[in-house]
Amino acid sequence: MAPSTPPGSRPAFGRARTTDAANATPRRRIGVIAVVVSLVLLLALQLVLADRERLAADAGWRPLVVATCGLLGCEVPVWREPAAIVLLSREVRPDPDHGALLRVRARFRNDARWAQAWPRLLLVLSDVDGRAVAARAFEPHEYLGATRGTLLEPGQSVDVAFDVLEPSVATVSYTFDFRP
């Protein structure tokens, strides 16, 4: 049998502590819990703010990022969802007054949940065999002019019209697409 050692001769790490959680008052425990919860919330807030650009691009996280930045005064990146822009009508015709020009007209609407930046408008002209003979992406300032706002609001429809030079090869078809 091992000899018994007197309580005062044990090393400090071997002695039982009587001033820990067993003796802590409920008020002190609540204070510690409140500090821990506050630190966890502060960490979560810091993570949201640091990664807000990526989170704001996700439809599930965007409302939280918008609300947080609304309280703290930070900027939320503009929503970009070109797939939510619906082409309502389109037309490409020769300009009767200028034989070398094609008159392009289109109407589209933003069906996204949030306002988004104006998209680039991609126009592709094809020949009778379906080969692309000309393509160009138009920036918003090229098809809108200076009268429009900076964002395409949810449900907003817009009519655009502009002229392009007709390629030397006869074009018989065209496609429109929207790019971020």
Average pLDDT, stretch 154-165? 93
- Same domain for 171 and 131, yes or no, is yes
- Same domain for 92 and 59, yes or no, is no
- Same domain for 31 and 101, yes or no, is no
Give the domain range for residue 54: 12-72
Q: What's the CATH number where 109 sits?
A: 2.60.40
pLDDT band at 51 (very low <50, low <70, confident <90, very high): confident
Packing angle, helices 26-50 and 62-72, rounded to 10: 100
Q: Is residue 5 part of a domain?
A: no
- Same domain for 44 and 132, yes or no, is no
pLDDT exceeds cutoff 80 at 59: yes
- Same domain for 50 and 132, yes or no, is no
Question: In the listed set 54, 72, 90, which residue is the last one of a domain according to the structure?
Answer: 72
Contact status, residue 180 vs residue 119, Cβ threshold 8 Å: yes
Write the CA distances from 64 to 51, 52, 71, 114, 155, integer angstroms.
12, 10, 11, 14, 22
Q: Is residue 1 part of a domain?
A: no
What's residue 88's pLDDT? 97
- Same domain for 68 and 115, yes or no, is no
Integer Cα distance of 180 and 122 in angstroms: 10
Tell me the percentage of the chain whose pLDDT exceeds 90. 45
pTM over the 0.85 mark: no
- Same domain for 32 and 90, yes or no, is no
Q: Is residue 110 part of a domain?
A: yes
Burial string for 92-124 (b: 16+ CB within 10 Å, else e) reads beeeeeeeeebbbebebbbebebbbbbbbbebb
- Same domain for 52 and 113, yes or no, is no
Task: Compute the mean pLDDT over every residue in the chain, rounded to the nearest whole number.
Answer: 86
Count of domains in the chain? 2
- Same domain for 87 and 141, yes or no, is yes
Span 28-39, pLDDT tens digits: 889 889 999 999
Span 7-33, pLDDT tens digits: 667 776 766 665 555 566 888 889 889
Average pLDDT, stretch 103-107? 95
Tell the residue number behind the tokens 């000309």, with chain if given: 134
- Same domain for 46 and 109, yes or no, is no
Helix (H/G/I), strand (E/B), else coil: 93: strand
Give the range among 20-29, 72-81, 130-139, 158-167 with minimum mean pLDDT: 20-29
Q: Is residue 2 part of a domain?
A: no
- Same domain for 108 and 167, yes or no, is yes
- Same domain for 95 and 156, yes or no, is yes
